[in-house]
Structures are given as C-alpha cells and as structure tokens.
Amino acid sequence: MVREKILLTPEGYKRMKKELEELIKFRRREVTQRLKEALEFGHFEENTEYEDARNEQALIEGRIAELDRILSSAEVIKKAKDNAIVRLGTKVVIENKNSGEMITGLIVSTVEADPVKNRISNKSPVGSAIIGKKVGEEVDVKTPQGEQRYKILEISNHTSTTEPFEEI
C-alpha cells in the first residue's frame, strides 16, 4: 500500500521532529522510571501510580507512532516565489465581512491545523474556500455560525518559526 504524502510547512516539520525526539529521549524514559518505582508498591489492583504510569505510557507511545507515521510520509512544502494566490504555507489576512473581524492566519495541512493559533487547515471550510484565491477576492463560507463572507486582504510568505498567529 502506498502512503499518501502529508504536506507540512518547514516549521511544522521541525516542530514535529523536535516533539518526537523529546518523547523518545525524555518522556519515554521518565514514564519507564515511574513504572519501575510504581512496581515497588506491589499489588496492581490498588496501585494507582502504576495505572497512571501505564496510561501515560500508552499516550506517549501512541503519539510517537503518530508522529513517526506523519514524518515518514511528510513532504515539506517549498515557499512560493510569488504571493499571487493563497496556498499551503502562505500567511493571509482576511476580513469577515459579516462581523468586520480581521484574522491573520497561516494556511497549513490538517495535521498542523490549530484554530487557537490561527493555523488554518486547507481542508477547513475557510481554508478550502480561500485556496487559489487572490488579494481582493471574496468568498462565501458555510460555517456553524451560518454563511459568512470573507475578503482576502493580504497574502505573504510566512518566514518566522516562532510567530504566533492571533486575531488582529
């Protein structure tokens, strides 16, 4: 079976690679040590420390497997030479014409999406509507709050690896 490529921004790839390394080098060791210490308490039935450590170990191993799968299928997107259209990896400033709200966000794939940090998934209603559009264009988007109209005000390459994306 051929795995589908997962598109990542350079920043997203680095962030996930770093998280994977930290999980393997530190968190896995920490939880293994906690398991050893919890085993010294004896009985498994009433050993909440052991049970907590086993649950944490399962979460860590699950995240390691997920990151490994993502990174092994990853294709890092290159920065566009021009900013004529919205695409993966571009920073956009859009205006919700219904509310007047201005949003600055980075267009990313679903595995990097984070609405709290305005990392907009290319598969989300807003993301999919603005992909391929130019500055000045408006799109109608069906959202849980009803149909919203957005206008693209700016498109640029995202260059910072630490800049948070927050509402203006």
Task: Based on the fold, state whether residues 69 and 128 are members of the same structural domain.
Answer: no
Domain of residue 11: give its range. Answer: 6-76
- On whether both 18 and 60 belong to a single domain, the answer is yes
18-45 pLDDT, tens digit each: 999 999 999 999 999 999 888 887 766 6
Q: Express each pLDDT in 52-87 by its tens digit.
A: 999 999 999 999 999 999 999 999 998 777 789 999
Please check the confidence at residue 159 and state whether its pLDDT lies above 60: no
Number of domains into which the chain is organized = 2
- Is residue 31 domain-resident? yes
* CATH number of the domain bearing residue 142: 3.10.50.30
Q: In what order do the strands lie in the sheet with 119-121?
A: 119-121, 102-108, 90-96, 146-157, 138-143
66 located within any domain: yes
Both structure tokens of 54: 């086993």
pTM comes to 0.78
Q: What is the CATH number of the domain that holds 33?
A: 1.10.287.180
